[in-house]
Amino acid sequence: MRIEDVYIWDINAKWLGITPHQLMENAGSGVARTIEERFGKGLKIAVFSGTGNNGGDGFVAARHLSFDNEVTLFLVGDEAKIRSEEAKHNWQILKDLDFVEIKILKDSAYIRNLDLGGYDVIVDSLLGAGTKGEPREPIRSAIGKINEYAGKARIVSVDLPSGYPSAVRIKADFAVTFQWDKEEYAGFERVVVKIGYPRELYHLVGPGDAKFALRKRGQHKGQNGRLLVIGGSEDYFGAPYLASKAASYIVDLVYLAMPEYSAGRISDPDLILRPVEGRNFAPEHVDSLLELAKKVDSIVIGPGIGLAEETKEFVREFIKRCDKPLVIDADGLKALAGDLNVLKGKTFVLTPHAGEFAVLFGVKPDGPLVEKAELVMQKAWKIGGVVLLKGTYDIISDGKAWKYNKTGNRGMTAGGTGDVLAGLVGALLALGNEPLRAASVGAFLNGLAGDMVKDELGENFTALEVARKVPKTIKWVVEF
């Protein structure tokens, strides 16, 4: 697991009702328990805390350790700068205790003459994993002071040695890290303690995933994604429009390529319409659309594209020659059935419902969640891409891991919500997300938008209302 996953899991845990207060309490108590298991009780312990959440974990550890040990808490910095509500809460608890001594070290002048010679254990909870570069004062001086006692007192860091991975870091005997080891950590001993995450968080898509997926890349037009949607036919024009409209709320530019027959029904200034001659896509359109594809970051192909033989041939030839990340949806999937080899070497997301999955892979996805997930993972591995199986719970896999999405409701059986999903996944790919994250977060946002519409209108609504709810959905994620 990566450091980034820590933030995602914390946010998703909050979404499940597991509060940051609970996680901080469990982290701090885990540190205290590990120290007493290693070194016993009746100790003289110094806890050095910063003003962030790592410091908050130290506040909790100090309280737990104070029951059987003599504890002094050194706050390095200004108490007015203690950031989170849970850290402030635990700081206030400490201030009201009579058997924990508190010393506030506002700047490095307070640190230079500290004598820590009488302490058996020094706990470092100065800086967490999110710190970049070398530590600044007064933290830098505190690290230097603690390191003077390396080899004399036991030094235990919370999560990781403060200052890591810079050269200015705590010389810890070990660090107590939380729930799982992180792949970025190396060169120091780690003890892993659980803090109350449920197993769901390995697989559940939530607002934490969405926060990272929706990060903007630049300040200028076009730097935050360009998407091409290829769809529509003599029979359908709404499906590619829904995909394009949903995507337009996320990326900077959306090109919509449709047969001129159906393109004439579209009038939306937010989209760049690119009609092609005729009533349906055909092989003669491949070259011009590959040229258009050079302008974009990702492509959605299939919504409303129809099942004419010439169109199926177009879809297969375009995919075979295209080198951009692809979302293949709806009739585009049927065009691939029996010839999945065109996907070899491509970056892609397939978005089948259960019936389309059976057509593609020759087996219907039935059974409980984990059983279906294993089947999706097996097929994704076989074809070398991402499969997003739409259903009551959407299941997404890249063949190595699997995720599932719980947002959405019965009202989303309305036609077109799958097209909205395809547009969202394509937009997230255009932002530079890896396909597994783009597909997972697309499913989450699509279902969440549907849930917001349901809250306003009940279970009777249209896909266009879901698409129009995307901005509110994104605002909710950003502010969560």
What is the per-residue pLDDT across 336-391, written as a single tens digit (0 to 9) for each? 998 999 999 999 999 999 999 999 999 999 999 999 999 999 999 999 999 999 99
Tens-place pLDDT, residues 121-170? 999 999 999 888 999 999 999 999 999 999 999 999 999 999 999 999 99
Residue 307: band (very low, low, confident or very high) from pLDDT cuts 50, 70, 90: very high
Range of the domain at 165: 3-199
Mean pLDDT for 72-84 is 97
| Whether residue 216 sits in one domain with residue 182 | no
- Looking at 170, 199, 228, which one is the last position of a domain? 199
95 and 222 belong to one structural domain: no
CB 93, CB 63: distance < 8 Å: yes
* pLDDT at residue 220, as a whole number: 74
Tokens of 478: 């950003």
Has residue 217 got a pLDDT over 80?
Answer: no
Residue 218: predicted pLDDT: 74
DSSP strand pairing (394-397 vs 386-389): antiparallel
- Among the listed residues 473, 409, 414, 410, the one whose alpha carbon sits nearest the alpha carbon of residue 442: 473
Write out the two tokens for 207. Answer: 């607002």
Query: Assign residue 461 a region: left if phi > 0, alpha if psi is -120 to 50, beta otherwise?
Result: beta
> How many independent structural domains does the chain possess?
2
Q: Both 243 and 145 in a single domain? A: no
* Domain harbouring 77, CATH code: 3.40.50.10260
423: nearest Cα among 257, 292, 229, 221:
229
How would residue 323 be classed by pLDDT, with cut points 50, 70 and 90?
A: very high
* DSSP 3-state of 193: strand
Find out whether 335 and 315 touch, Cβ atoms under 8 Å. Answer: yes
Q: To which H or E segment does residue 464 belong?
A: helix 463-468
Task: Report the pLDDT value the prediction gives residue 263, as an integer from 0 to 100.
Answer: 92
User: 130: how many CB neighbours lie within 10 A of its CB?
Assistant: 12
What is the CATH classification number for the domain harbouring 267?
3.40.1190.20
Query: What was the pLDDT predicted at 1?
Result: 82
| 174, 245: one domain | no
Following DSSP, what letter does each residue of 263-325 receive, concatenated?
Answer: HTT---TTSEEEEESSSS--GGGHHHHHHHHTT-SEEEE-TT----HHHHHHHHHHHHH--S-
Of 175, 199, 223, the one marking the end of a domain is: 199
**Residues forming beta bridges with residue 315, ordered by sequence position:** none
pLDDT-wise least confident of 2-11, 53-62, 120-129, 251-260: 2-11
Report the alpha-carbon angle 12-16-22, nearest 5. Answer: 85
The reported pLDDT for the residue numbered 131 is 87
How would residue 3 be classed by pLDDT, with cut points 50, 70 and 90? Answer: confident
Asked whether residue 164 falls in the same domain as residue 215, the answer is no
Q: Is the pLDDT of residue 458 over 80?
A: yes
Same domain as 24, residue 133: yes
Last residue of a domain, one of 155, 174, 199: 199
Q: Where is pLDDT greater, at 454 or 2?
A: 454
pTM of the model: 0.93
Left, alpha or beta for 370 (phi > 0: left; psi -120 to 50: alpha)? alpha
Q: Which of helix, strand or coil describes residue 227? A: strand
Query: What is residue 130's predicted lDDT score, i.e. its pLDDT?
Result: 83
Specify whether 301 is located in the same domain as 346: yes
Asked whether the predicted pLDDT for residue 221 surpasses 90, the reply is no
**175 and 284 in one domain?**
no
Residues of the chain with pLDDT > 90, as a percent, come to 95
Q: Average pLDDT in the 409-437 region?
A: 97
Pairing of strands 174-178, 154-158: parallel
Rounded to 10 deg, the angle between the 369-383 and 354-361 helix axes is 40
Cβ partners under 8 Å of residue 468, min gap 6: 245
372, 422 in Cβ contact below 8 A?
no
Using one digit for the tens of pLDDT, what is the confidence trace for 19-53? Answer: 999 999 999 999 999 999 999 999 999 999 999 99
Q: Tell me what pLDDT residue 222 has.
A: 73
Collapsing DSSP to helix, strand or coil, 12 comes out as helix
Residues 380 and 465 both lie in one domain: yes
Residues 92 and 218 in one domain: no
Q: Are 174 and 226 in a shared domain? A: no
Average pLDDT of the chain?
Answer: 96
Same domain, 301 and 240: yes
Phi then psi for residue 301, to 5 deg, are: -130, 130
